[in-house]
C-alpha cells in the first residue's frame, strides 16, 4: 500500500518514506507509528492503542511516546506547534488529519533526473547509503545473477544496521548497465555514501572488488579485493557479502564521527553526539570512556527514547567498571537502567541488546547474558563487537573454545575495526583459559600494539607471563598493568571478574600471583 500526502510518499510494502522521491531516514518504530495513524485517520487513536500496536503492550513511559510522536511529525514535515498532519486530541490520543490518497501495487516512479544547474536534494538527517549493482566484468551475460546477487545481499545486510538509511534495491538498480558518475547517483537518491564494485569470474575462480565512497568529500573510505575459489557459489556469495558489510560498518561510523567533530557544539543533535561518543569509546582509555559517557548522556537528554544512545551508554558504563575505572557495585544498576530503557525504546536494535547482555554478565546472569548476545547477533549477524563480547562471556562461563572462536570471528569480520584491540584481548584470554600461554602472550601483545593502554590485554599478558615462568616478561607486564590499572590486586580480580568456574578463577589468580601481584 502507498499513501500519498502533500509531497510525500509512504510505501508500506517497501517500508520507505520519501519526499519528492528523496528518501527520508525513519526509525522503524516511528515508521510503524505513522502507518498506523494513517491507516486509522478516520478516528482518534488512543495512547493505549498505540502502545499495544507499536510496543506490543509493553510498559512505555510518557516521554518515550512523546519522543516518537515528535519524531513522526518531524519525518513528515509537521511539528508540535502547527500539528497540520498529526494532531494531539487532549486526553484522547492522536489523529492523522492530512489529506491522503492511497494506491495499491503502484509501480515506483523512475528517479527524477536533476540538471547540474539545479539545487541538489537535502540529505536525510541520518547517513544514507546506496549500493550500486556490481559490474559483471566476466563478459558473460548469464553471470549477471552472481554480481546482482552480491549487490542485493549487501543491501539486505546493510539494512540490518539500523543506524543507517539504505536505499532499496529497486531504486539502486535503475543504474544497472549505465555509465553514471557517483555524484549524480548521490544527488538523485539523496545519499552521502555509495558502495560500488565489480565481479570478474574466470573458470572456477572469482575476483570481487568493492569500495565505499563518501560523495560529499570525494574520498574513498575503504576498498578491498577478494579472490575466491567457486567450489560453492552461494557460500562464496554469503562469505563475500559478510566480509564487505562488516568492513563497511566501522568505516561509516568513523566518517560520521569525523563529520560530527567539524560541527559547532550548539548544532549537534542526538546522532552527532553518539558519533562523537563513539570516537572516544574506541580509544578505550579511562579518560575517553568518561568523555563518551558524557556525550551519550547529552544525547539521551536530547532524545530520552534514543535506544542506540542508551545501549552504548550501558556498554560504556560496564566496560569502564570491567577495566577497573569505576566501582562495579555502583555501576551495574546505572548500566542496567540504561540497557532496559534501550530495549524498551527499540527491541530490534542490536546495540540495545548488546548493552543488556553485557550488563547481565556482571549480574552473574550467564544464561540471560548469552541469550541477549545471541539475540543481538540474530538482529545483526555482522556485529563484530557483539561477537567479541559474546566471546568473553563464553570464556567467563567456562566455554573458552567457543569464546576463542567468537573473538576470531570478530577479527575476521572486521580486521580494521577501531575496537580490534579488544577482539585480540578476548582471544588472548581464551588462549590463557585453554592453557596456551604462548598464544595468550602473542594475542595480548597484538592487542597492546593496537591500543597500548588496553587494560584487559595487560592483565592477560601478566597472567600468561606468570604461568610461563618468565621473570623478566612477568615483571615488565606487571609494571605495565599497574600503570594502566593502578588499583589492581588479587582481591579486586577475585571480587570483580565474573568467572563461573572456580577452577578458572584459581588459574587466573595463580598466573597473576606468579608474576608478582599481591
Which secondary-structure segment (H or E) carries 13?
none
- CB-side neighbour CA atoms (13 Å) of 11: 17
3-class DSSP assignment, residue 60 = coil
State the Cα–Cα distance between residues 365 and 369, nearest whole angstrom. Answer: 6
Q: Where are the beta strands (DSSP E) in 97-218?
A: 101-103, 128-131, 135-136, 165-166, 193-202, 205-214
Query: Could you report the per-residue pLDDT of 391-421, keeping only the tens digit for each?
Result: 999 999 999 999 999 999 999 888 778 899 9
Query: Could you report the per-residue pLDDT of 52-86, keeping only the tens digit for each?
Result: 888 777 777 787 888 888 888 888 888 888 888 99
3-class DSSP assignment, residue 238 = helix
Per-residue confidence at 22, pLDDT binned at 50, 70, 90? low
- Cell numbers of 330, please? 555502583
Segment 470-477 mean pLDDT: 96
3-class DSSP assignment, residue 387 = helix
Segment 140-161 mean pLDDT: 82
3-class DSSP assignment, residue 199 = strand
State the Cα–Cα distance between residues 99 and 234, nearest whole angstrom. Answer: 47
Per-residue confidence at 110, pLDDT binned at 50, 70, 90? very low
Per-residue confidence at 21, pLDDT binned at 50, 70, 90? low
Contacts with 81 (C-beta within 8 Å, 6 or more apart), sequence order: none
Whether the pTM exceeds 0.85: the reply is: no
Cβ atoms within 10 Å, residue 518: 7
The answer to whether residues 214 and 180 touch, using CB atoms and an 8 Å cutoff, is: no
| Length of the chain as a residue count | 518
- Cell numbers of 399, please? 566455554
The answer to whether residues 3 and 100 touch, using CB atoms and an 8 Å cutoff, is: yes
Query: Which domains are assigned to the chain?
Result: 2-103 (1.10.10.10), 128-249 (3.40.50.10610), 322-514 (1.25.40.10)
Nearest to 461 by CA among 508, 505, 504, 496: 508
Phi, psi of 132 (to 5 degrees): -75, 155
Query: Could you report the per-residue pLDDT of 208-234, keeping only the tens digit for each?
Result: 999 999 988 878 888 888 888 877 777
- For residue 228, list its beta bridge partners: 206
Q: Is the pLDDT of residue 336 over 90?
A: yes
DSSP string, 18-36: EETTEE----HHHHHHHHH
Mean pLDDT: which of 7-16, 25-34, 470-479 is highest?
A: 470-479
Amino acid at each position: 500500500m502507498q499513501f500519498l500526502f502533500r509531497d510525500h510518499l509512504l510505501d508500506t510494502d517497501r517500508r520507505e518514506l520519501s519526499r519528492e522521491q528523496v528518501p527520508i531516514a525513519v526509525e522503524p518504530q516511528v515508521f510503524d507509528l505513522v502507518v498506523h495513524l494513517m491507516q486509522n485517520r478516520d478516528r482518534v487513536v488512543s495512547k493505549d492503542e498505540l502502545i499495544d500496536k507499536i510496543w506490543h503492550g509493553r510498559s512505555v513511559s510518557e516521554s518515550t511516546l512523546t519522543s516518537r510522536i515528535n519524531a513522526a511529525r518531524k519525518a513528515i514535515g509537521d511539528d508540535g506547534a502547527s500539528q497540520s498532519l498529526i494532531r494531539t486530541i487532549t486526553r484522547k490520543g492522536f489523529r492523522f488529519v492530512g489529506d491522503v490518497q492511497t494506491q495499491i501495487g503502484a509501480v515506483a516512479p523512475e528517479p527524477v533526473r536533476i540538471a547540474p544547474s539545479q539545487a541538489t536534494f537535502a540529505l536525510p538527517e541520518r547517513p544514507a547509503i546506496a549500493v550500486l549493482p556490481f559490474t559483471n566484468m566476466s563478459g558473460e551475460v548469464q553471470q549477471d545473477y552472481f554480481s546482482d546477487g552480491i549487490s542485493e545481499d549487501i543491501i539486505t545486510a546493510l539494512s540490518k544496521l539500523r543506524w543507517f538509511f539504505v536505499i532499496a534495491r529497486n531504486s539502486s538498480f535503475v543504474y544497472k548497465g549505465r555509465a553514471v558518475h557517483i555524484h549524480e547517483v548521490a544527488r538523485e537518491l539523496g545519499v552521502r555514501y555509495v558502495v560500488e564494485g565489480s565481479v570478474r569470474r574466470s573458470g572456477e575462480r572469482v575476483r570481487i572488488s568493492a569500495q565505499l565512497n563518501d560523495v560529499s568529500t570525494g574520498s574513498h573510505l575503504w576498498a578491498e579485493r577478494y579472490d575466491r575459489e567457486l567450489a560453492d557459489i552461494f557460500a562464496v556469495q554469503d562469505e563475500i557479502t559478510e566480509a564487505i558489510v562488516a568492513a563497511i560498518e566501522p568505516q561509516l561510523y568513523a566518517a560520521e564521527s569525523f563529520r560530527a567533530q567539524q560541527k559547532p557544539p550548539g548544532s549537534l543533535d542526538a546522532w552527532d553526539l553518539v558519533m562523537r561518543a563513539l570516537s572516544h569509546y574506541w580509544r578505550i582509555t579511562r579518560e575517553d570512556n568518561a568523555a563518551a559517557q558524557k556525550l551519550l548522556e547529552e544525547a539521551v537528554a536530547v532524545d530520552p527514547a534514543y535506544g542506540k544512545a542508551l545501549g552504548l551508554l550501558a556498554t560504556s558504563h560496564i566496560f569502564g567498571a570491567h577495566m577497573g575505572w569505576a566501582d562495579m557495585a555502583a555501576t551495574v544498576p546505572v548500566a542496567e537502567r540504561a540497557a532496559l530503557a534501550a530495549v524498551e525504546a527499540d527491541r530490534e536494535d542490536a546495540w540495545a541488546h548488546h548493552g543488556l547482555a553485557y550488563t547481565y554478565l556482571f549480574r552473574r546472569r550467564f544464561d540471560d547474558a548469552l541469550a541477549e548476545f545471541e539475540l543481538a547477533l540474530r538482529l545483526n549477524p555482522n556485529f563484530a563487537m557483539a561477537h567479541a563480547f559474546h566471546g568473553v562471556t563464553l570464556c567467563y562461563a567456562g566455554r573458552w573454545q567457543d569464546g576463542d572462536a567468537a573473538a576470531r570471528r570478530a577479527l575476521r569480520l572486521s580486521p580494521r575495526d577501531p575496537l580490534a584491540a579488544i577482539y585480540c584481548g578476548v582471544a588472548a584470554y581464551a588462549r590463557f583459559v585453554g592453557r596456551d600461554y604462548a598464544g595468550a602472550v602473542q594475542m595480548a601483545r597484538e592487542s597492546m600494539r593496537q591500543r597500548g593502554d588496553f587494560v584487559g590485554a595487560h592483565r592477560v599478558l601478566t597472567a600468561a607471563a606468570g604461568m610461563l615462568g618468565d621473570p623478566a616478561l612477568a615483571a615488565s607486564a606487571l609494571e605495565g598493568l599497574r600503570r594502566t590499572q593502578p588499583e589492581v590486586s588479587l582481591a579486586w580480580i577475585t571480587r570483580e571478574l565474573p568467572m563461573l568456574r572456580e577452577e578458572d578463577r584459581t588459574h587466573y589468580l595463580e598466573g597473576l600471583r606468579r608474576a608478582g601481584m599481591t
